[in-house]
Amino acid sequence: MNKAIMKMSRLQIARMAVQLLFLGVLFAGLLLKIKPVLMVFLPLALLSGSFFCGWICPFGAIQDFFAKVGSLFVKRKFKMPRAIQKYAQYSRYVLAIALFFMVAGDSIIKTSMNSYLTFIFTATGQGAEPVAIGIMVGFIMIAMFFERPFCNYFCSEGIKYGVLSLGRLFTIRRNTETCINCKQCDKSCPMNIEVSAKKHVRNAQCVNCFECIDACPVKGTLTFGPVIKLGKKDNKENTA
């Protein structure tokens, strides 16, 4: 069995359990009925970032699952080069705006481009267009070699959580005094965030998966907690 899977921490096992629970809820047809309850994750994003995307989102969970399957065959996943990533991370915002103005009245096209909605419709037995299902399956297959491709560049659902989480009061913190700059945190991040360049990870892409904390070889260097004090320099770094 792949070592990366065997070395899963208790935190990651707990996250996977929560993901599986909500996948079960979805396939039981209950997710749409409890949707108002899930709205609690919007204000939670203001406080501590996007737990919905990292812990609850069923399509995110499916991508994580196939990423682990891909780890059995591929030792190192592909990541977008940093020079491209700093621009590519805004693609989901551009796509959301384009869809709003170009196909505001065409629900078929909007669903085809949104694999999250396609997954929800398919799982709850509402059906989806063949093209939409094909695109969804394509993202799932890509997730075996490129972690969370849909979440990174195409998910309009995650925008609201990401934008709200920019001002989060609780976040992943990096102790610059104990950091050995090994960049294991950067390599482990499925959202391709340069954690090693920040003191507080207040990035709209962050889904609070805590993979970076687990990957850090120096205990206590990366932690999750309140932002105590931010200077101008920190604020610029953390929101980049």
* pLDDT computed for residue 237 by the predictor: 45
Q: Global pTM?
A: 0.84
Return the axis-axis angle of helices 115-123 and 58-71, rounded to nearest 10°.
100
* pLDDT computed for residue 128 by the predictor: 77
* pLDDT computed for residue 53 by the predictor: 93
Q: What pLDDT digit, counting tens, does each position of 127-140 carry?
A: 778 888 999 999 99
Average pLDDT over residues 70-96: 90
* pLDDT computed for residue 110 by the predictor: 62
* pLDDT computed for residue 129 by the predictor: 83
> What is the pLDDT confidence band of residue 239, given thresholds at 50, 70 and 90?
very low
Q: What pLDDT digit, counting tens, does each position of 162-212 carry?
A: 998 988 999 999 999 999 999 999 999 999 999 999 999 989 999 999 999
pLDDT beyond 60 at 108 = no
* pLDDT computed for residue 109 by the predictor: 59
* pLDDT computed for residue 156 by the predictor: 87
Give every CB contact of residue 126 below 8 A, 6+ residues apart in sequence: 120
Average pLDDT over residues 210-235: 80
Residue by residue, DSSP assigns the chain as --HHHHT--HHHHHHHHHHHHHHHHHHTT-TTTTHHHHTTHHHHHHHH--HIIIII-HHHHHHHHHHHHHHTT-SS-----HHHHHHHTTHHHHHHHHHHHHSTT-HHHHHHH-HHHHHHHHHTT----HHHHHHHHHHHHHTTTSSSHHHHHT-SHHHHHHHHGGG-SEEEEE-TTT-----HHHHH-TT---GGG-SEE--TT-----HHHHH-SSTTSEEEEE-----HHHHHHHT-
Average pLDDT over residues 109-116: 74
* pLDDT computed for residue 240 by the predictor: 45
CA angle 47, 80, 239 (to 5 degrees): 30
Q: What pLDDT digit, counting tens, does each position of 57-67 carry?
A: 999 999 999 99
